Amino acid sequence: MSAREILTAFLTIIQREVRRFTRIWPQTLLPPAVTMTLYFVIFGNLIGRRIGPMDGYDYMQFIVPGLIMMSVITSSYANVVSSFFSMKFQRSIEEILVSPTPNWVILIGYVAGGMCRGLLVGIIVTLLSLAFTSFHMHSPLLVVSTALLTSFVFSLGGFINAMLATKFDDISIVPNFVLTPLTYLGGVFYSISLLSPFWQGVSMANPILYMVNAFRHGILGASDVAPQYALAMLVLFSVVLFGIAYHLLNRGKGIRQ
Amino acid sequence: MADDALSIQGLRKTYDGGFEALKGVDLRVAAGDFFALLGPNGAGKSTTLGILASLVRKTAGKVEVFGVDMDRDAARAKTFLGFVPQEFNFNQFEKVGDIVRTQAGYYGIPPRQAARNAEFYLRELGLWDKRESSARMLSGGMKRRLMIARALVHEPRLLVLDEPTAGVDIELRRSMWKFMERINEQGVTIILTTHYLEEAEALCRNIAIIDGGRILQHSSKRALLRQLSIENFVLDLKENPEALPSLEGYRCSWDEEGSLLLEVEKGRGLNSAFRQLDEQGLEVVSLRNRSNRLEELFLRLVEENARDQREATP
């Protein structure tokens, strides 16, 4: 395929993915908006007033970056894992496998589709948060790069999960038992400076902590982890997960006999 | 050879469980041909087509599409090929028009051209009015036609169809035959598998019969049919006698509907049979050729192959 044909195939995959998640917007875009609004009202407003400032910021201001990241993470992951596994399950993945589209284009196409949903949900949640608090971005470049890399990493995670899954149960195990606990323990609702040194050390092994803190640093200008270190971790995760996802797709397990 | 639409040499496939589906298949299909690959269930037809479509990985062998080796330049070989699978494999919740346009995009066809091609083939296959409908709302026959439109949208030179008319009513099957004949006349090489042997006899110029992962016969339909030494005729008598008539030079039996079944050796006429029936006071009210000649040949070859395999097993 020529470069132009490859670009057309890539844009076709993205267009198809965006069409899919916007068609079923009550399942894909509305739930995170409702959930995050509840978080803002209950944790930020009602309970947050009694908690007081965190790391020198109003509690609502403190949790907003984490909640935006949380919605980006879950939406990016969910989009790729559900879309790719459904295609595998009903064999419509064969439509693209019979075509000359190279595997790396299939991979980045689906990942870009997941990023579109993750970032769109992130924008929706950000706009909703403005109804509860106000902030100005400390570093827009850091905010954008963290959001892009995080959605890239979790879209790749969703792709790997979909490749390995053999039944629908398999696509809910990781979000329920890995992603959700790591997100809640990743410093969304608290600063790890509140923890004992031992638990601070344990928290440093949680990759989501770096993403939340880099994003928070981009918005507030303060965080538990140095942003350069967090970005380096994100790049490392991106490279490793891309390698694993590409290997699985080339091996074709579950999609080619 | 470049004149071949498809060239397969020594194709083998052993699945993970150890089942050997193909045991060295050699096949050549000339450009412009209308070719049938026939065989009973589990013979290796779908595995062969799956390898062509890159959905099944071969264990050994070489596949060339219009002279392009699939191992060396799979992407180019794929652009020549359109594939219609046996099972519905599109997203049931997508719109008909979107399914076809998206498929064109996977081949790198720009959106405007993709829309033009999609409209052309959806109109050709009588689905244009359904372009905004969700695919799950289509009837079985429409879903089959949707898969054909999808396979043609990038205008392939070789169309491979795995049982395209399975479960389709007779009227629709006939219209699909006409459509396939028309695109074949326009230069598209067609390879199909089918369980309706009259379909292969009516449409195809060349035929291969596969069983047990091996090609048993591969020649022109005419040459295959020449191998048949007996033709069957069904005679409806005005009144059936109590005993089966005895006709010298012919073998007689009653068929399942109570008509007289006459086996006639090739080259022998029917005049003597009619004379003998007349002498026995039996009046023939109608005569017709029985069943499909290809079916008889197919069954004979498959039975012979099964017998050979039984004998070869110690």
Test A98 with B108 for CB contact under 8 angstroms: no
pLDDT score for A110? 96
CA distance B136 to chain A (A): 12
pLDDT at B228: 64
* DSSP assignment string, B96-158: HHHHHHHHHHHTT--HHHHHHHHHHHHHHTT-GGGTTSBGGGS-HHHHHHHHHHHHHTT--SE
pLDDT of residue A47: 82
- Which ranges of chain A does DSSP label H, i.e. alpha helix? 3-23, 25-28, 30-39, 48-51, 59-89, 94-97, 103-129, 140-164, 170-174, 180-184, 197-203, 207-220, 227-251
d(C-alpha B122, C-alpha B116), whole Å: 10
* The dihedral formed by the CA atoms of A55, A58, A61 and A66, expressed in degrees to the nearest 10: 40
Q: From the CA of A161, how many Å to the nearest CA of chain B?
A: 20
Going B152 to B154 to B157 to B161, the CA torsion angle's sign is negative
Render A157-220 in DSSP notation, one character per residue.
HHHHHHHH--STTHHHHHIIIIIHHHHHTTTSSS-GGGS-HHHHHHHTT-HHHHHHHHHHHHHH
User: Would you call A99 and B107 a contact, using CB atoms and an 8 Å cutoff?
Assistant: yes
Q: Which amino acid is at B174?
A: R
Residue B97 sits at the chain A interface (C-beta within 8 Å)? no
Residues B289-300: b if buried by 16+ CB within 10 A, e if exposed: ebebbbebbbee
The alpha-carbon gap from B26 to the nearest alpha carbon of chain A, in Å, equals 21
Taking each helix axis from N to C end, the angle separating B140-152 and B170-185, rounded to the nearest 10 degrees, works out to 10
**pLDDT higher than 80, residue A222:** no
Q: Alpha-carbon distance A192 to A203, whole Å?
A: 8
All residues of chain A having their beta carbon less than 8 Å from the beta carbon of residue B102 are 12, 15-16, 95
B150 touches chain A (CB under 8 A): yes
Asked if residues A221 and A138 have their Cβ atoms less than 8 Å apart, the reply is yes
> Which residue in B148, B87, B158, B76 sits closest to B118, CA to CA?
B148
- Show Cβ contacts of residue B1 under 8 Å, excluding neighbours closer than 6 positions: B7, B28, B67
- Indicate which of A1, A84, A95, A96 best probes the interface with B, i.e. most B CBs within 10 Å of its own CB: A95
For the four alpha carbons of A194, A199, A204 and A209, in that order, the dihedral sign comes to: negative
- The shortest C-alpha distance from A43 to chain B (Å) reads 38
CB B236, CB B201: distance < 8 Å: no
Minimal C-alpha gap between B79 and chain A (Å)? 7
| B169: its two tokens | 């009513």
Please report the number of interchain residue pairs, chain A to chain B, with beta-carbon separation below 8 angstroms: 87
pLDDT value of position B294: 65
* Chain A residue with Cα closest to B75: A100
- In chain B, which residues fall in CATH 3.40.50.300? 4-225
Q: What is the pLDDT of residue A72?
A: 94
Q: Shortest Cα distance from A210 to chain B (angstroms)? A: 37
Q: Which two tokens stand for residue B44?
A: 């290796």
Q: Rounded to an integer, what distance in angstroms lies between the CA atom of residue B35 and that of residue B158?
A: 11
Cα–chain center distance at A136: 23
- The larger pLDDT score, comparing residue A55 to residue B186, is at B186
Mutate to test the interface with B, among A2, A10, A12, A97 (most CBs of B within 10 A): A12
A1, A90, A91: residue with CB nearest B108: A1
Residue A118's closest CA among A83, A68, A49, A162? A68
Most confident residue range from A107-121, A128-142, B211-225: A107-121
The pLDDT value given to residue B292: 54
Q: Could you tell me what percentage of chain B is helix, strand and coil, using 3-state DSSP and rounding each to the nearest 5?
A: 35, 30, 35
Tens-digit pLDDT profile for residues B116-126: 999 999 998 88
Domain residue limits, chain A: 3-251
Q: What is the pLDDT of residue B296?
A: 66
Q: CA-CA distance, A150 to A82, in Å (whole number)?
A: 18
Domain B4-225 belongs in CATH node 3.40.30.10: no
- Partners of B62 in the beta sheet? B9
Show pLDDT as tens, one digit a residue, over chain B (314 residues). 557 989 999 999 998 888 888 888 899 999 999 998 888 888 888 899 999 988 999 999 999 999 899 999 989 999 999 999 988 888 889 999 999 999 999 999 999 999 999 999 999 888 999 999 999 999 888 898 999 999 999 999 999 998 887 777 777 888 888 888 999 999 999 999 887 777 777 888 888 888 888 888 787 877 777 666 667 788 888 888 888 888 888 888 887 777 888 888 777 888 888 898 888 888 888 888 765 566 666 777 777 777 777 666 65
Q: Tell which of B103, B106, B150, B152 to mutate to test the A interface (max A CBs under 10 Å).
A: B106
Q: Is A190 left (phi over 0), alpha (psi -120 to 50) or beta?
A: beta
Q: Per DSSP, what are the bridge partners of residue B65?
A: B6, B68
Q: What is the ipTM of this complex?
A: 0.85
The CATH fold assigned to B229-293 is: Alpha-Beta Plaits (3.30.70)
User: With 80 as the cut, is the pLDDT of residue A75 above it?
Assistant: yes
φ, ψ for residue B55, nearest 5 deg: -95, -15
DSSP three-state, residue B181: helix
- Confidence (pTM): 0.81
Residue A36, phi then psi, degrees to nearest 5: -70, -35
Q: Which of residues 279-308 of B touch A (CB under 8 A)?
A: none
Domain with CATH 3.30.70.1560 in chain B: 229-293
Residues 6+ away with beta carbon under 8 Å from B215:
B25, B26, B27, B208, B209
> Residue A247: what pLDDT?
95
Mean pLDDT score, A199-221: 86
What pLDDT score does B101 carry?
A: 95
Chain B residues with beta carbon closer than 8 angstroms to that of A4: 108
Within 8 A by CB and 6+ apart from A26, the residues are none
What residues form DSSP beta bridges with B284?
Answer: B237
d(CA A119, CA A152): 10
A109, A10 Cβ separation under 8 angstroms: yes
First to last CA, chain A: 24
Give the number of other Cβ atoms within 10 Å of residue A241's Cβ: 19
Q: Is B282 helix (H, G, I), strand (E, B) or coil?
A: coil
How far is it between the farthest Cα atoms of chain A? 61
Among the partner-chain residues B54, B87, B110, the one whose CB lies closest to the CB of A98 is B54
